[in-house]
Amino acid sequence: MSRITIDVKAGSREEGVKEIGDNHYIVSVKAPRRKGKANASVVKILKKHFGRPVFIVSGHTSTRKIVEIEE
């Protein structure tokens, strides 16, 4: 498994993934930061982007998260 760092921008107009450095990404989601909705959207968007299962390892309540991508 590989790990990446992401910064989440919840409540964005458009959803997407942008690489800003080595293993560092910005993930924009339309979902709000309430009741885990943004985290669920982040996992869904990253799974679609990488084509593999994705899990949030740390940072569940933060805008900066560590995410694990299955190989």
Instruction: Look at the block and give the residue holding tokens 């560092």.
Output: 24
23 near 5, Cβ under 8 Å? yes
> Is the C-alpha dihedral spanning 31, 51, 24, 4 positive or negative?
positive
Look at residue 6 in the predicted model and tell me its pLDDT: 98
pLDDT digits (tens, 9 = 90+) for 37-66: 999 999 999 999 999 999 999 999 999 999
Domain map of the chain by residue range? 2-69
Alpha carbon of residue 48 to chain centroid: 11
With a cut of 90, say whether residue 1 has pLDDT above it: no
Q: Which CATH superfamily is domain 2-69 in?
A: YggU-like (3.30.1200.10)
Whether residue 22 is predicted with pLDDT greater than 90 in this model: the reply is yes
| Predicted structure pTM score | 0.92
**Strands across the sheet containing 24-28:** 16-21, 24-28, 2-9, 64-69, 54-58
